[in-house]
Structure 1
Amino acid sequence: MTAFFIQTTASTVLAILASYQLQPYTSYLSLVHMCVISHKPWSLPATTGSLAAFGLFIILMTLWNALDKPYRKQADVVESLIQDGARI
């Protein structure tokens, strides 16, 4: 829960910062009826990076959980990973 709270807070703060930094570089093109961004701020990839880091953290915790349990043979580790949703 702590990691989820940290990730959610970081994503929210970075998303607000990214939208604030994008405002001066956003303009509307009437020819194609869409907005364009002429500059990418550093906080935009940091926002998606925090989401990717949390996904990697979840995968590592799942592996650690499977390897932390006592087992008699290697097949028990694979069964534990399958129970934890490794196929998905």
Structure 2
Amino acid sequence: MLRTAADLVTAHHGAWTGIGKWLPRRLLSADPALGKALLDGHQAVAEHAELLPLATAVKQALDLLGGPLLEGYSHRWRA
């Protein structure tokens, strides 16, 4: 969930995404508040198996883009 949400957030802000150690850096650079919420949520899952913080942050990421879609998703890259 973190990787997909990070891709959506960075794409929304027209920023580069990253993998490994670059994912948190790029995510925080693109959207500091939402990036921190996503990373903190991921840490809560890893350390305590607590899903709610990550699910809440992912919902915020989806809301940033108009909310969840159940069908008809397409991604348009900015030129």
Bucket of the pairwise TM-score, normalised by the shorter protein: 0.3 to 0.5
Rg larger in structure: 1
Length-normalised TM-score, structure 1:
0.33
Name the structure where helix makes up a greater proportion of residues: 1
Could you state the TM-score of these two structures normalised by the residue count of structure 2? 0.36
